[in-house]
Amino acid sequence: MRILVTGGAGYIGSHATKRLLEQGHDVLVVDSLFRGHMQAIQALQSLPGIGEHLAFHETDVSNKSVMAALMTAYGVDTIMHFAALAYVGESVDDPIRYYRNNTAAVLSLLEAAAASNVQRFIFSSTCATYGEPDAQYIPIKETTPQAPINPYGASKLFVERILADHAEAQQRAGKPFAHACLRYFNVAGDDPDGVVGESHQPETHLIPIVLEAALGIREHVTIFGTDYDTPDGTCIRDYVHVVDLVDAHIAVMNALQAGDRRIYNIGVGQGYSVREIIEACKRVTGIEFAVKEGSRRAGDPPKLFADPSKIQSELGWAAKYTNLDEIIQTAWDWHQAHPRGWE
């Protein structure tokens, strides 16, 4: 296939690009490089035997005319859309920016796709669309009510609705549009080969933050809230390895038929607490570091983890990285080699 990967210079997008190249696909990456990294593209293009199947174009996906021209020129048949802003706190401070980048840009991308007759679209959604579900909804199924509590989650939910409406309109016009929305839980880990990896500025994900403390880049790790109704008093989350996440995208891509609409939660189906993550990082690294306790942050539910049974039963996908130490080991390998990320 010829696949357009938007945001392919970022964390998840670069891992997806590597996997697609390994499976023999031709990949066109489009990234504005606002938070993506040209070093990731260069690393992928240097892969022997497959790197030449990667083309890169620096632009914003909201540039409709450029995107339509690129899709036509490269003969794109499938879009994997990862390009997005993804900091919850930032979305609260600057919601218009998030709605413009995460939501409005998709309108231009879909218009470009329609103009180029690209009728397959896989969307990077998020468990943040569920907001703070009641305990009765844990583990979270795809049917759990969606009620985001921040602009980031809302910006993704709006796209899910846009895709559904667009698909219905295309169906009526005799142009069946296939799409899937994959609602991620906490993505973790790095490429076991060390070709690409996680690099955020600022870093907000728990595992790399803890590993930065192990490396001495941070003075300490802070636990935000120790009085939750959980076994050790700290929040519990579902951590899915980035390689497993990418494999879920590919499984969905291979299954999509004309007119399909598929919605899947992507997670392991098991939660780990903040304390468990910290202790696992200490085991893997063999390094002790300072840990401080702080007050709760607003909007942190006690437990969030997925029920991934739908994608397992329909597509046969299941996470292969189910051992927490193994997930952290891949992250530790990357962060030791790149203590400051791509910088």
Active site residues: 152
Asked if 220 and 213 touch (Cβ cutoff 8 Å), the reply is: yes
Q: What are the distances in angstroms from CA 71 to CA 23, 64, 118, 185?
A: 21, 11, 8, 30
Can you name the residues that pair with 78 across neighbouring β-strands? 3
Angle at 20 between CA 339 and CA 309, to 5 degrees: 90
Which residues, at least 6 apart from 203, have a Cβ–Cβ distance to it below 8 Å? 209, 212, 341
Can you name the residues that pair with 239 across neighbouring β-strands? 186
Interatomic CA distance for residues 193 and 18, integer angstroms: 10
Asked if 199 and 11 touch (Cβ cutoff 8 Å), the reply is: yes
**Tokens encoding 331:** 């992250």
* Identity of the residue numbered 124: S
**116 CA to centre of own chain:** 26
**Tokens encoding 146:** 């969606």
Which residues, at least 6 apart from 150, have a Cβ–Cβ distance to it below 8 Å? 88, 91, 92, 128, 299
Q: Could you give phi then psi for residue 301, rounded to 5 degrees?
A: -65, 155
Interatomic CA distance for residues 24 and 5, integer angstroms: 15
DSSP, collapsed to helix, strand or coil, labels residue 261 as strand
